[in-house]
Amino acid sequence: MLSNIKFPFFSTDSDEKPPSHQHIKPHKPIQTSYTSVPLDIPPNFLSLVPNVPDARPITFSPLDWSTTPIPEGQGKLAFILENVLSPSECTQLIQYAEASVPLDSPTARGEDGGPWGPALVNIGGGFEILEPSYRRSDRIIWDTKTIADRIWERCLTVEGLRKEIEVIKGRERVKKVTGRGEWHGDNGRGEWVMRRMNERLRFLRYGKGGFFQPHCDSPFYASMDKEQVVKTLFTVHIYLNDCKATAEDPDSTELVGGATTLFSSDEKRRYDVECKAGRVLIFQHSAVLHSGDEVKKGVKFSVRSDVLYEQVMGKGEGEGEERASK
């Protein structure tokens, strides 16, 4: 089990504080870029049909907001998949991610020389800042289309998910998922067709006291060409270890806390999705206020990515949009 693995760059001692990253000053914008070491990933790792003894059948559940403390969320798309990865695959995936970080990367590596650097906050234009009062965790950014494709292919073996998100169409549904007031036809015209999961995987490690304050995720634009709009519409969270609330044997893990919390708009009501190895939480970027709850004990490991869509305009729709944009 992942909870029994001793990771070389972080103690699981519940009294240890997260690294301070003294080589990066808080609140000071720094220009960042991320590269990944090419890795030789075996073709049978994360194969479409799992070939590991601890694999279990994948299950799929759309989130029924009406049964949560946030019933007004009904209509926002959110889904929970179980057993997309097995516990042993989660462990191996972390080890691959650690090996993907270049030795000479100043912002991606921690002050101890290990592969886990500080999780920064993107402020645009290629700049990020360290904001420990807003976000406190470690991160590895691994650009790997191979792994992203394999994980997403597994998710899509569940027909229910493919049916729900492969094409986002219809004026009201498009508005609900993409949000209002954005450019490039996010006003309900045309439809959005799923392409793939973003190859940028953000591995996250939260020690005791780690958290991410409430926020909504923003889309990443892979193309801003007037003739082709490609951007992300959905967030993907992949949990890589169990917490005590979900573990079959609570004594096998130290992790307490660290849930992904979905909030009401006033943050007074909440619904927690707890950490569980192999669980995947998917939800639309637009209007889903959420946080990474504070880790009370132990260490949380997860991966965050998103799903890329291409906008396909119907006949004549693009002309009106172009005129409006001038």
Higher-confidence residue of 168 and 228: namely 168
Q: What is the pLDDT of residues 246-290, one digit of tens each?
A: 999 999 999 999 999 999 999 999 999 999 999 999 999 999 999
Answer whether residue 18 shows pLDDT above 60: no
Q: Are 264 and 69 in contact (CB under 8 A)?
A: yes
pLDDT value, residue 188 = 52
Q: Does 3 score more than 50 pLDDT?
A: no
Tokens matching residue 167: 């094409």
Q: Which two tokens stand for residue 310?
A: 């291409």
The predicted-structure confidence for 156-175, as pLDDT tens digits, reads as follows: 999 899 999 999 999 889 98
pLDDT at 226 (0 to 100) = 65
Helix, strand, coil percentages in the chain from 3-state DSSP, rounded to 5: 20, 30, 50
Q: What per-residue confidence (pLDDT) applies to 224?
A: 62
Token look-up 């650690």 returns 98
The mean predicted confidence, pLDDT, of the chain is 87
pTM: 0.87
Asked whether residue 190 carries a pLDDT value surpassing 50, the answer given is yes
Q: Is the pLDDT of residue 236 over 70?
A: yes
Alpha carbon 222 to its chain centroid, in Å, reads 17
User: Taking 70 as the threshold, does the pLDDT of residue 125 lie above it?
Assistant: yes
Rounded mean pLDDT of 16-39? Answer: 76
* 65-104 CB burial, b ≥16 within 10 A, e <16: beebebeebeebbbbbbebbbbbbbbbbbbebbbebbeee
DSSP string, 134-203: TEE-EEEEEE-HHHHHHHHHHHTTSHHHHHHHSEE-SHHHHHHHH-SS-SSSTTS-SEEEEEEE-SEEEE
Mean predicted confidence (pLDDT) in 293-322 = 81
Distance spanning both ends of the chain, measured CA to CA: 57
Q: Which of 13-22, 95-104, 233-242 has the least mean pLDDT?
A: 13-22
